[in-house]
């Protein structure tokens, strides 16, 4: 079964809007795991507009499933990750001012940079994943820079799902086959939700993990967090 990692950035966004500690990010992470999530994902950005550096340190001892830290590998980010030592780090090529991650890595243009960053994380026994699009050349080159996994950026699948789901999923299924051939583990994330998740999981071979935040937290406002996590897990059961 594909693992579900819950991105709790939106919990932190709501907390930061008012100040104080409501909702409690730490309690939310504990509850997500208690309700069945198999991982917790955070994406600390330099401006700390949602997850703060202090949250990352506070979360480390209470994440008993899998801790996944996403972000652009700046000097400060690398320092944070190597101190916290999560099970996985996901490298995302987003500049500080973007609203949300909106592109995958060019692993050819950034080959030397990514190779050096991945080597440093491997020295700390941290599994690496690279946020990437479905371009087969980029996936093949990701294997050359020694990353353990790639995370497919699924925005285009979600955007086109209602028009033609078979056509929308095909580039991702093809990309998954390429990733398998070059020995890369496969994750996916961005705009996956209760409408499109099951079809995606059914059609993507060797999908190890999905990271879902915005849609899941929105659903939880109406359905409750425990029920929502169970609904997402049900979508991943083949």
- List active site positions: 43, 70, 190
Which token pair is 101? Answer: 């991650």
> What DSSP character marks residue 8?
-
Q: What are the b/e assignments for 54-85, b being 16+ CB within 10 Å?
A: ebbeebeeebebbbbbbbbbeeebbebbeebe
> What single string gives the DSSP state of each residue in 178-191?
HHHHTT-EEEEESS
Which token pair is 100? Answer: 């949300």
In this structure, the strands spanning 67-71 and 88-91 are parallel
Q: Return the number of other C-beta atoms located less than 10 Å from residue 122's C-beta.
A: 14
What residues pair up with 210 in beta bridges, in sequence order?
A: 4, 188
C-alpha distances in Å from residue 120, one per residue of 28, 91, 117, 126, 135 = 31, 13, 5, 9, 26
């Amino acid at each position: 079964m594909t693992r579900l990692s819950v991105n709790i950035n939106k919990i932190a966004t709501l907390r930061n809007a008012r100040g104080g500690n409501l909702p409690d990010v730490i309690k939310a992470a504990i509850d997500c795991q208690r309700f069945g999530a198999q991982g917790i994902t955070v994406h600390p950005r330099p401006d700390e507009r949602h997850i703060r550096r202090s949250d990352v340190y506070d979360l480390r001892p209470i994440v008993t499933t899998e801790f996944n830290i996403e972000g652009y590998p700046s000097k400060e980010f690398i320092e944070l990750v190597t101190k916290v030592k999560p099970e996985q780090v996901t490298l995302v090529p987003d500049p500080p001012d973007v609203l949300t991650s909106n592109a995958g890595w060019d692993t050819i243009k950034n080959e030397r940079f990514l190779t050096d960053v991945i080597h440093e994380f491997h020295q700390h026994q941290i599994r690496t994943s690279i946020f990437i699009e479905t371009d087969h050349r980029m996936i093949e080159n990701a294997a050359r820079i020694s990353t353990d996994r790639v995370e497919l950026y699924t925005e285009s699948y979600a955007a086109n799902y209602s028009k033609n789901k078979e056509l929308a999923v095909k580039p991702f299924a093809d990309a998954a086959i390429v990733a398998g051939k070059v020995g890369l583990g496969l994750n996916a994330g961005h705009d996956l939700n209760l409408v499109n998740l099951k079809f995606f999981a059914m059609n993507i071979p060797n999908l190890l993990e999905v990271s879902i935040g915005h849609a899941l937290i929105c659903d939880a406002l109406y359905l409750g967090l425990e029920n929502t996590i169970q609904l997402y897990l049900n979508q991943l059961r083949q």
